């Protein structure tokens, strides 16, 4: 079969696949331009610079994402700062109810969200649904995080004095999330810089010791994995490797949300991780209150309030 015939056949198959995909996405609308969400409203960006998002199956532009301006970023930060004044005083029980509603929205729309991921990234639908599921698990963990907000107290540290320590939110935070997970080659800039795709670097080694040495020599320590049916080999690898996340017979060892996302060395800057239990420490700060209530000042008022405060 000639190369021109192969190219023609490929185009026919691609067009057929694209048509099937278009039918499957008929109920899933993507706007021509993605808007910013600021102060509770979707707003068109005033930028002159846009990033085209292509459907990998057809190369069609499915949406355009703005490179938002500095003033738009400042507007978003100011809006968040204003909301923080009241949101930070909202009770944990009330915030928990909002997260429950968020959880239900994701669960009820998992298939549609997965279709959007497939259209934008080219993943298979089951793989995209797996991404949505991981996001849902994070939200579910957040719903259960009230027990991690508890502080410490030391009553009666001295006469009539108590010490109380608890977590308070930092305020407005911003994050730049990685969009892929790297595999590297120690002779390439991609290896030295620790890029997050789209390049996949592959290098061969002869022994387990060589593999461990290669990984430990890298200045990054995000994640690594080993596939083996030998428990002793797995145990040696997990003990000797200097990497924050280690997978045994799993390809990408990102932990479930109840555990922390634990990079090490050049892959971790700061004093706590942003994911799982340690995220509470990452996004909060400790406040310690020393209070003195003299026993002689006890109120003799006999009035009683019978309503339960958490109901308000």
pTM of the shown model: 0.59
- Give the pLDDT confidence score for residue 19 in this predicted structure: 47
Torsion of the alpha carbons at 269, 272, 278 and 282, rounded to the nearest 10? -90
Q: List the one residue out of 277, 284, 289, 309 whose CA is nearest residue 84.
A: 284
pLDDT in tens, 112-166: 999 998 888 888 899 899 889 988 988 888 888 877 777 888 888 888 888 888 8
Name the average pLDDT for the chain: 77
Grade residue 25 by pLDDT with cuts at 50, 70 and 90. very low
pLDDT in tens, 89-112: 888 888 889 989 999 999 999 999
Instruction: Domain 21-149: give its CATH code.
Output: 3.40.605.10
Retrieve residue 238's tokens: 């997990």
- Give the pLDDT confidence score for residue 182 in this predicted structure: 43
Beta-carbon contacts of residue 68 (< 8 Å; ≥ 6 apart): 36, 45, 47
Contact 201, 183 (CB under 8 A): yes
Chain centre distance of CA 306: 43
Grade residue 69 by pLDDT with cuts at 50, 70 and 90. very high
pLDDT in tens, 242-290: 887 888 888 776 766 656 666 666 566 566 666 667 777 777 878 888 8
Q: Which residue has the higher pLDDT, 46 or 214?
A: 46
Domain boundaries of the chain, sorted by first residue: 21-149, 171-283
Query: CA 117 to CA 56: how far, in whole Å?
Result: 11
- Give the pLDDT confidence score for residue 104 in this predicted structure: 92
Architecture of domain 171-283: 3-Layer(aba) Sandwich (3.40)
């Amino acid at each position: 079969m000639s190369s021109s015939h192969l190219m023609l056949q490929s185009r026919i198959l691609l067009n057929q696949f694209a048509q099937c995909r278009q039918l499957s996405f008929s109920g899933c609308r993507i706007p021509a331009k993605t808007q910013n969400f600021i102060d509770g409203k979707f707003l068109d960006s005033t930028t002159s610079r846009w990033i085209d998002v292509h459907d990998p199956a057809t190369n069609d532009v499915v949406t355009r994402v703005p490179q938002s301006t500095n003033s738009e970023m400042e507007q978003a930060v100011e809006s968040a700062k204003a909301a923080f004044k009241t949101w930070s005083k909202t009770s944990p029980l009330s915030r928990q109810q909002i997260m429950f509603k968020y959880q239900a929205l994701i669960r009820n729309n998992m298939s549609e969200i997965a279709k959007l991921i497939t259209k934008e990234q080219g993943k298979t639908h089951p793989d995209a649904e797996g991404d949505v599921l991981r996001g849902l698990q994070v939200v579910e963990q957040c719903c259960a995080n009230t027990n991690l907000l508890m502080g410490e107290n030391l009553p009666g540290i001295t006469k009539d004095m108590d010490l109380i320590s608890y977590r308070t939110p930092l305020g407005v935070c911003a994050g730049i999330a990685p969009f892929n997970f790297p595999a590297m080659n120690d002779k390439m800039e991609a290896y030295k810089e620790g890029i997050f795709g789209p390049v996949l670097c592959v290098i061969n080694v002869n022994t387990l010791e060589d593999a461990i040495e290669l990984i430990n020599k890298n200045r990054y320590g995000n994640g690594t994995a080993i596939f083996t049916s030998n428990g002793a080999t797995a145990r040696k690898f997990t003990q000797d490797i200097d990497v924050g996340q280690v997978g045994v017979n799993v390809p990408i060892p990102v932990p479930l949300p109840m555990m922390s996302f634990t990079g090490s060395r050049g892959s971790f800057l700061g004093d706590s991780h942003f994911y799982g239990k340690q995220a509470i420490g990452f996004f909060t700060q400790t406040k310690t209150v020393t209070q003195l209530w003299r026993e002689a000042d006890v109120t003799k008022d006999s009035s009683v309030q019978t309503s339960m405060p958490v109901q308000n």
